[in-house]
């Protein structure tokens, strides 16, 4: 255990020499609600990369992911006082990001968009198909709710119960959305004229 910093030092030197105190997510959120101006930035910064990956995998474009992440950050900042502590703070942040992504996708669905190009037309110079790109494009063709369910459980590793809590739906709804998503993905990734996947 590090030695205590003597009180004879000035406050600036004491704070510099004191061991770094790492606050938990719940402590940071509580500090933000109590008025600590830096706590929320530290909390969101701690999880920003993971939340950005979540937004990017849920939306159709990097721009939508950035916009949804900003919407989510603002919603979390404003909604912090209403956090109920019945889940981990990071799960709460995940749910806010997913909801922001789904809201953005719903708004985009109301506006006409250009159809995606044929998935099988994408190939590199040697004629080999980039599987990652094909899967990504197939995922983007799923309805937003189905995509969110399959991404939460199959890509991000949440249990069905946790995904249901994250998405704000019943466990059975997550299961049925995943089943529909998998069936549709099979049709998109294994067309009739190709060998069985």
Query: Residue ranges per domain, the chain?
Result: 23-113, 115-197
pTM for the model stands at 0.56
pLDDT one-digit tens code per residue, 108-135: 665 544 444 444 444 444 444 577 777 7
Tokens at residue 29, please?
């959120």
Give the CATH number of domain 115-197. 1.10.10.10
User: What is the pLDDT averaged over residues 177-190?
Assistant: 87
Contact present, 104 and 59 (Cβ < 8 Å): yes
From the number of C-beta atoms within 10 Å of its C-beta (0-12, 13-18, 19+), residue 89 rates as buried
pLDDT at 96 exceeding the cut of 60: yes
Least Cα distance to 57 among 90, 97, 86, 115 occurs for 97
Q: Could you confirm whether domain 23-113 is CATH 1.10.1740.10?
A: yes
């Amino acid at each position: 255990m590090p030695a205590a910093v003597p009180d004879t030092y000035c406050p600036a030197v004491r704070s510099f020499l004191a061991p770094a105190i790492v606050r938990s997510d719940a402590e940071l959120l509580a500090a933000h609600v109590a008025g600590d101006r830096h706590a929320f930035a530290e909390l969101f910064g701690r999880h920003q990369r993971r939340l950005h990956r979540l937004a990017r995998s849920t939306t159709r474009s990097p721009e939508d992911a950035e916009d949804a992440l900003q919407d989510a950050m603002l919603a979390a900042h404003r909604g912090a006082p209403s956090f109920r502590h019945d889940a981990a703070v990071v799960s709460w942040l995940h749910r806010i990001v997913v909801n922001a992504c789904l809201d953005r996708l719903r708004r985009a669905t109301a506006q006409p968009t250009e159809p995606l190009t044929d998935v099988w037309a994408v190939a590199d110079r040697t004629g080999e198909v980039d599987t990652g790109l094909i899967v990504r494009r197939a995922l983007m063709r799923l309805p937003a709710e189905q995509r969110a369910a399959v991404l939460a459980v199959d890509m991000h590793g949440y249990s069905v119960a946790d995904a249901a809590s994250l998405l704000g739906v019943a466990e059975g709804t997550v299961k049925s959305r995943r089943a529909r998503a998998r069936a549709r993905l099979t049709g998109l990734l294994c067309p009739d004229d190709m060998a069985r996947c």
